[in-house]
Amino acid sequence: MKPATKILTKTRMILASLAFATFALSASAARADEMKVPTTTAAHEALAKQYREEAAQYKKVGDEHRAMAAAYGKEHPDSKGGVKNAWNVKMQKHCEALSKDADKLSADAEKAAEFHTARGKELEGK
C-alpha cells in the first residue's frame, strides 16, 4: 500500500474514534445539564424520542467500525503462506471492541426509549 493511503486510512480511523468519543461525551454532558425527572406523558415521549435518536447514532457508529474493519482487512490481507497480518489482527480487535461498545449503547438507549414510551402510556391511562 502507498504511504499516502496508509496515512489516510489511519487518519480516518482516528477521526472515527474521536467522533464516537465526542458524540458520547457531548450527549452525556448535554443531558446532565438539562435533566429533569419526567412527570408528564409529553415529557416521557420526548425522552423516548431522544433515546431512539441516540440508539440510531450508536448503531451508525457500530456499523461504521464494522465497515472500517472489513476495509482494513481487504487492504492488509494475510500473507499467502497463511501467516496472519499482525496489524490486521490488531485493527480487527480494535474495531470489534468499538462496534460492540456502540451496539451495547444502542441497545441500552432502545431499552430506555421503551421504558419512557411505556411510562408515558401509563400516565395517559392506556
Spans of the chain, pLDDT less than 50: none
Q: What is the pLDDT of residue 78?
A: 84
Is this model's pTM higher than 0.75 or not?
no
Q: Which domain holds residue 79?
A: 3-124
Q: What is the pLDDT of residue 36?
A: 80
> What is the amino acid identity at position 31?
R
- Residues whose CB is less than 8 angstroms from the CB of residue 13 and which lie 6 or more positions away in sequence, other chains included: 68, 72, 91, 94
Q: What is the pLDDT of residue 125?
A: 84
| Interval 85-113: pLDDT, tens | 888 899 999 999 999 999 999 999 999 99
Number of domains in the chain: 1
- Residues whose CB is less than 8 angstroms from the CB of residue 112 and which lie 6 or more positions away in sequence, other chains included: 47, 48, 51
